[in-house]
Structure 1
Amino acid sequence: MTRYAATYARDRAEIEDLMARYLMAMDYNDFDSYADMFTEGGTLEFARGAVTGRENIRAAAQGFKEAVAGIYKDVDGNPAILRHVLCQSVIRVEGDKAWHTGFWFECANDGPREASGRFTPTLGTFGIYEDELVRVDGEWKFAYRDIRNEFLDGRDSGKVNPVLAMDAKAETALSGGS
């Protein structure tokens, strides 16, 4: 049975706010805010590999967005507008540490043009986030974020329920393991 501390609702709200700010920062090319959501020594693991430290995360996020702009084009050949959405999230909080897993997908305006002249949105890539968070000076930050992509070889989420995998990582960390 899952047990929640008296502060769980507040912690969850703060973590969900961090997640929303993270996606807004990425989608609107605010790489400074994006990087600031990680601890100084935080790690981001994604399709291009893993990077550690805010400056490296900032540079990697910016490089990734520039590369994506060359791949996703609207019907006029302009970079498509991508927007990410976080769906169901499971968050486990233990004091000043937390673990999260959640399903994400992205939408883009790279579909065919409608009679009205607007683009038809498309549903693009999807996957899950696997996160470890810590509270730093009263604020939740990502210590580790792994962006799993269900459409890329070696980056899928596997066959185990991601919630069970998250709980196993939490139990290992809480018992002093790595």
Structure 2
Amino acid sequence: MASALEEKEAIREVLAEYCFRLDDGRFAEMAALFTENGTWDTAFGRATGRAIIAELARSLRERAGDQRPRGIHLVTNIAITLDGASARVRSNWTVVQNSAEGPKIGSGGAYLDELVKEGGQWLFRYRKIDRFIAP
């Protein structure tokens, strides 16, 4: 049985992998980090189910088009509360983007997450993008 520290580290890996997959445009792979009926609750729409989550992510990227510089998500201030095979996580996020003036903060906010351990893997049951801020 994994220790609490090992479980928390595994959850941090899921948070990081979500950002890598989202930033890389690997939307189906990002959605695979959710349970089959997981929910992604964003400032721009809510999706339940992996296929619908992937489609929402794809549509948000397409809507941004080439007008918005690509950036990277950074996740900080991660607070994890374990409860057996489930966990609640609060964290902050920032998107850093390129601009003509150099790197800048494009947006930020908080994540409120519920994760469950299924088949030995931590998955999002619910992820809410909270306190969304952008210029």
Structure 2 length as normaliser, TM-score?
Answer: 0.93
Q: Which residue of 2 aligns with 1:90?
A: 79
Question: What secondary structure sits across from 1:102 in the alignment?
Answer: strand
User: Whose RCO is larger (CA < 8 A, sep 6+)?
Assistant: 2
1:110 shift after superposition: 2.0
CA displacement at 1:99 relative to structure 2? 0.4
Q: Aligned-pair distance for 1:70?
A: 4.4
Deviation above 4 Å: which 4+ runs of structure 1? none
Match of 1:169 in 2: none
Residue pairs, 1:12-161, within 5 angstroms? 12-72=8-68, 80-112=69-101, 120-151=102-133
- Once the two structures are superposed, what CA deviation does each residue of 1:80-139 show, in whole Å capped at 9, x if it has no partner? 121110011000011000000001001101233xxxxxxx11112111000000001010
User: Any idea what the Cα deviations from partners look like across 1:5-40, whole Å, max 9, x if unmatched?
Assistant: x72101111000001100000000011210100000
- Which AA in structure 2 matches 1:139? Q
Give the 3-state SS of the residue equivalent to 1:56 in structure 2. helix
- Go from structure 1 to structure 2 and tell me whether the alpha carbon gap of 1:8 and 1:21 turns closer, same or farther (over 3 Å shift): same
Give, in whole Å, the separation in 1 of the partners of 2:120 and 2:39: 20
- The structure that has the greater radius of gyration is 1
User: In the alignment, is the contact (CA less than 8 A) between 1:39 and 1:143 conserved in 2?
Assistant: yes
What TM-score does the superposition give when structure 1 sets the normalisation length? Answer: 0.71
More strand by share: 2
| Aligned-residue offset at 1:151 | 2.4
Aligned length: 133
In structure 2, the CA distance between the partners of 1:36 and 1:142, relative to structure 1 (3 Å rule), is same
- What is the RMSD of the two structures over their aligned residues, measured on CA atoms? 1.4
Unmatched 5+ stretches in structure 2: none
| AA in 1 matched with 2:18 | Y
Counting aligned pairs with the same residue, the percent is 30
